[in-house]
Structure 1
Amino acid sequence: MRFVIIGAGRVGLRTARVLREEGHEVTIIERDDAMVRRARNQEFTVVEGDGSQESVLEEAGIKEADALGALTGDLNVNFTASMIAKHHGCRTVMRIDEAYREGIYRKYAEEVDEIIYPERLGAIGAKNALLGGTIRAIADIAPHLQVVELTLTQEAPINGYTISELELPADATVLAFGKRDDPLEIPSADESLETGDRLVVLADYEVLSQVRQLIVGETANQAMANAGAGGVN
């Protein structure tokens, strides 16, 4: 997938690194000279300029991008860039810095797909918001371990099973379970698994593709490609 990230600060650059490590194409927009140099030193493609300007966004490839992350500390830049990106058909993720403003921006920026603030959501969370979908990474516990939240689909082989009937690979375990729209809880053995339910799983990267096949219903080839790249989509 192709992403445009506005802002090469702490949140923006970390998000860009996570996306690149998972095999995605990332272009960064930044207007601060020092931050531009830092991003280029890390071998990112960087467009210098104001991310709220349509011409700069077009130079960064917004017309071909799948999603835009407006992750600067400037609310006006983030808001304007998100509106322009939405016009070009992108998924949009907008950063705000104060939690109390979230309701205001959700009310007046209804077209923005996700609103995040770093105090609650770091680089992994920003990446999940950009990707959307039925699988999201929660944390990398170790180089070979990841905690993921997966949403059951209609195609999942385990749809209709109970927790006690669920057989995950040896190097994966269920940590929490939540019915559709309900809070996550410690799972009980007789809980039924239905479309829209969520499972939080701790898994070794080696078995992530098998876990994805069981819970999300991906084909073997899809799961192998996505898990192999660390993909969460």
Structure 2
Amino acid sequence: MLQEEGHEVTLIERDPSKAERARKQDYEVIEGDGSREDVLEDAGVGEADALGALSGDLNTNFAACLIGDHHGCRTVLRIDEDYREDIYRKYARQVDEIVYPERLGAIGAKNAMLGGDIRAIADIAQHLQVVELTITSEAPTAGYTISELQLPANATVLAFGKRDAPLAIPTPDESIEPGDRLIVLADFDVLDDVRQILVGDASRATAQAGGI
């Protein structure tokens, strides 16, 4: 995804077959152990903006983040068990962000199975969530414009899309009609209020979303 957006990406991989496969996909690859400083230096850690320690080995990931922090990189640590996040947030000042892909995948799978007109996209922090909501005919704000929309203080519209149209940055004069979609960043405490405003039936929406 970074490469598709035009960023310069270097991969570190110690499995020769995986490294060769990545090269065939036009990635720059350094073969070696990502927890070693000399390997990271060969990959350009000294000039890098960010280091993603995203392997399946937590110790390797943490060691890489320590080295990346020493070189002034933004560091992202992949963890493999949910309970470890609190531990690393408490003790690892060298880690800027923690990601737990298995949890995000589980959230997506759960919401896909439950269906409905509200789909959680990702838990992005302890008290925040990004949700996609589809405007219904019962929504109190149907017929409003984006500028007239009044959400709770701890909620922000990130993107807006007309029915079957791509999502984009919302403009103030866009009208909100049934079938339109909004991406909203909200504190968990105000999610029910946001649902009531944009969907119209908070109790049904909450049940369909699994009580998120």
| TM-score, scaled to structure 2 | 0.56
Unaligned 5+ segments in structure 2 are 106-120, 123-129, 132-145, 151-156, 168-179, 199-212
Q: 1:26 to 1:121 in 2, by over 3 A?
A: farther
The counterpart of 2:20, out of the listed 29, 32, 37, is 37
Alignment length (residue pairs): 139
Partner residue in 1 for 2:182: 175
Q: Give 1:187 deviation, angstroms.
A: 6.3
Alpha-carbon contact 1:175-1:186 (below 8 Å) kept? no
Q: Secondary structure at the match of 2:195?
A: coil
How much does 1:54 deviate? Answer: 1.0
Q: What are the equivalent positions in structure 2 for 1:51-62 lying under 5 Å apart?
A: 51-62=34-45
Mapped to 1, the partners of 2:161 and 2:79 lie a distance apart of 40
Contact map agreement 1:177 1:187 (CA 8 A) in 2 = no
Asked if structure 2 preserves the Cα contact closer than 8 Å seen for 1:176 and 1:186, the reply is no
Find out whether 1:89 has 2:72 as its counterpart: yes
Given residue 162 of structure 1, which amino acid in structure 2 is its aligned partner?
E
2:59 equivalent to 1:50: no
- Aligned-partner SS, 2:77: strand
CA distance in 2, matches of 1:187, 1:19: 36
Determine what percentage of the aligned residue pairs are the same residue.
Answer: 58
Compare relative contact order (CA 8 Å, sep 6+) and give the higher one, 1 or 2: 1
Instruction: Check the 8 A contact 1:47/1:56 in 2, yes or no.
Output: yes
Task: Report the 3-state secondary structure (helix = DSSP H, G, I; strand = E; otherwise coil) of the residue aligned with 2:44.
Answer: coil
1:32/1:20 CA distance change after superposition, 3 Å: same
Aligned to 2:91: 108
Q: How much does 1:117 deviate?
A: 1.6
Q: Which residue identity does 1:64 align to in structure 2? A: E
In the aligned structure 2, how far is the partner of 1:120 from the partner of 1:169?
27
What do you get for the CA RMSD once the two structures are aligned? Answer: 3.1
Summarize the alignment of residues 120-139 of structure 1 with structure 2, pairs less than 5 Å apart.
Answer: 120-121=103-104
> Unpaired runs of 5+ in structure 1?
1-17, 123-137, 140-147, 150-159, 190-233
Runs of 4+ more than 6 Å apart? none
Correspondence for 1:186 among 157, 182, 195: 195
Aligned to 2:175: none
The answer to which of 42-51 and 96-105 deviates more is: 96-105
Please give the TM-score of this superposition, normalised by the length of structure 1. Answer: 0.51
Rounded Cα–Cα distance in structure 1 between residues aligned with 2:5 and 2:95: 24
SS of aligned partner of 1:29: strand
The question of 1:24 aligning with 2:7 is answered yes
Deviation per residue, 1:31-53 (Å, 9 max, x gap): 11111111112111000111111
Letter in 2 for 1:46: V
Give the greater-gyration-radius structure (CA). Answer: 2
Contact 2:79-2:85 at 8 Å conserved across structures: yes
CA distance in 1 between partners of 2:43 and 2:51 (Å): 11
Question: How far apart in 2 are the matches of 1:75 and 1:175?
Answer: 36
Q: Secondary structure at the match of 2:33?
A: coil
2:141 corresponds in structure 1 to none
User: What is aligned with 1:162?
Assistant: 148
Aligned ranges 1:194-233 → 2 under 5 Å: none
CA contact (8 A) 2:161 2:182 kept: no
